[in-house]
Amino acid sequence: MTARTLRGVLALAAAAAALACQRETRRFRESPPAATSETAVAMSELVPGPKTRDLPIRNPYERNAYAVSEGERLFNAYNCSGCHSHGGGGIGPALMDDQWIYGSDPENIFSTIVEGRPNGMPTFRGKIPNYQVWQIVAYVRSLSGLLPKDIAPARDDHMVAGPEPQRTEALRPKHAFTPSAADHP
């Protein structure tokens, strides 16, 4: 075995290790900033000084199976399912389809939860720690297949309410309205 193939094998192993670690880590103790309930997403286009380019916000939990399953647990614990059912909708809109009234990006969903939306979506500002909101965001996106299949939750132990996120084919989001600056001329 040449040194080069050896390096290749090692690099591959390291990559596999990193991926597996990210999916399987159980981070129980979030650092205090993530646990605060201040918003982490800009709520307005108005910024002091010259306009800077928006960098897409990445939700670290979308690559972590434990966090997504926590999101699922919290989705039910905080009674999101009371209005959105298990993603199928009812009083609130369905979350397992490709229709996104306020955008499908993680930061859009984060804002929706924290700020609330007209016609019924309450604000959870101050009620749900930031990191838990991000976990719920990851779960909500998994409902329409926007998360990798090995990370999205499998079926739960209840009556079947719909296809489990793990087997949902990714639906291309249709943005009916996106408050992001990019969509405005």
Among the listed ranges 26-34, 53-61, 104-112, 175-183, the one in contact with another protein (CB under 8 A) is: 26-34
Please give the residues from 128 up to 157 whose contact with another protein meets the rule CB under 8 A: 128-129, 131-132, 149-150, 153-157
Residue 175, classed as helix, strand or coil, is strand
Binder of another protein out of 9, 10, 35, 170 (CB under 8 A): 35
Give the CA-trace dihedral at 30, 71, 108, 142, to 10 degrees.
130
Residue 162, classed as helix, strand or coil, is coil
Binder of another protein out of 26, 51, 172, 184 (CB under 8 A): 26
Tell me if 165 sits within 8 A of 143, measured CB to CB. Answer: yes
Question: How many residues bind another protein, per CB under 8 A?
Answer: 41
Tell me if 102 sits within 8 A of 112, measured CB to CB. Answer: yes
Taking CB under 8 A as the rule, does residue 88 contact another protein?
A: no
Among the listed ranges 86-94, 106-114, 124-132, 170-178, the one in contact with another protein (CB under 8 A) is: 124-132
Binder of another protein out of 39, 85, 99, 166 (CB under 8 A): 166
Alpha helices in the chain (DSSP H): 3-24, 32-35, 65-77, 81-84, 106-115, 130-143
C-beta closer to another protein: residue 73 or 117: 73
> Smallest distance, Å, CB 92 to another protein?
18
Please name which of 76, 109, 114, 96 lies closest in space to residue 179, comparing C-alpha atoms: 109
Reading the block at residue 78, the tokens are 């905080």
Build a one-symbol-per-residue string for 42-81: x at contacts with another protein by CB under 8 A, - elsewhere. Answer: -----------------------xx--x---x---xx---
CA angle, residues 69, 91, 164, in degrees to nearest 5: 30
What are the beta bridge partners of residue 121? Answer: 117
> Smallest distance, Å, CB 101 to another protein?
25
Give the binding site for another protein (CB under 8 A): 16-17, 20-21, 23-26, 28-30, 32, 35-37, 65-66, 69, 73, 77-78, 126-129, 131-132, 149-150, 153-160, 163-164, 166-167
